[in-house]
Structure 1
Amino acid sequence: MKLKPLGARALVKMIEREEQTAGGIFLPDTARQKPQTAEVVAVGVSDEVKVSAGDVVVLARYSGTEVKIEGEDHLIVDTDDILGVVEG
């Protein structure tokens, strides 16, 4: 299934990172904060959209609507909830 976001929205796939404390302890899933970094999969057609597919972005915490596409978790987010693009 393909999903094309409408308007000023983007479809993103969250980038999971292992969380480790300063003392070197890896945190279990239940103790982790929601990830804020995602890869843009698709974008809506709007002059307000400033990102494109393939960009790695930082999202506002707890933003977006969760959707499952081909068994993988994604989010549909308003572009206002994209705080920045990771470069390099």
Structure 2
Amino acid sequence: MAKRLIPYLNRILVEKIVPPSKTSAGVLLPEKTTKLNSAKVIAVGPGVRDRNGNLIPVSVKEGDEVLLPEYGGTEVKLGDKVYHLFRDEDILGTLHE
């Protein structure tokens, strides 16, 4: 049975996107050009409540591609995959084409 993690509060579960280390022609890329801290949102929590009890939802949704800070987050291993948990306010932005 596969486990599914559903984050609490305003936490977001992401899977980091590993950029290619070489081009389609086989040219190896330097590490600096492949270091983009992007990730795909796998699951989101429901959000947090303000002082009046109103729900403030998370600002991203499952499937979004987001930009992460260089450091932070909590590593979570489920089965053979590695994910990371971040708070909603730690996400730097969403990436669009």
Indicate the TM-score class for this superposition, using the shorter chain for normalisation.
0.7 to 0.9
Matches within 5 A, 1:14-29: 14-19=16-21, 25-27=28-30
- How far did 1:34 drift? 6.2
TM-score (norm 2): 0.73
- How far did 1:18 drift? 2.9
Report if the CA contact (8 A) 1:58-1:82 is conserved: yes
Report if the CA contact (8 A) 2:20-2:34 is conserved: no
| Structure 1 residue corresponding to 2:66, chosen from 41, 44, 57 | 57
- How far did 1:42 drift? 0.2
The alpha-carbon distance between structure 1 residues 65 and 45, as it changes in their structure 2 partners (threshold 3 A), is same
- How far did 1:70 drift? 2.3
Q: Percent identity?
A: 34
Q: How much is the aligned-residue C-alpha RMSD, in angstroms? A: 2.3
- Unaligned 5+ residue runs, structure 1? none
- Which structure has the larger Rg over C-alpha atoms? 2
Aligned length: 83
1:3 and 2:12 aligned:
no
TM-score (norm 1): 0.80
- Unaligned 5+ residue runs, structure 2? 48-55
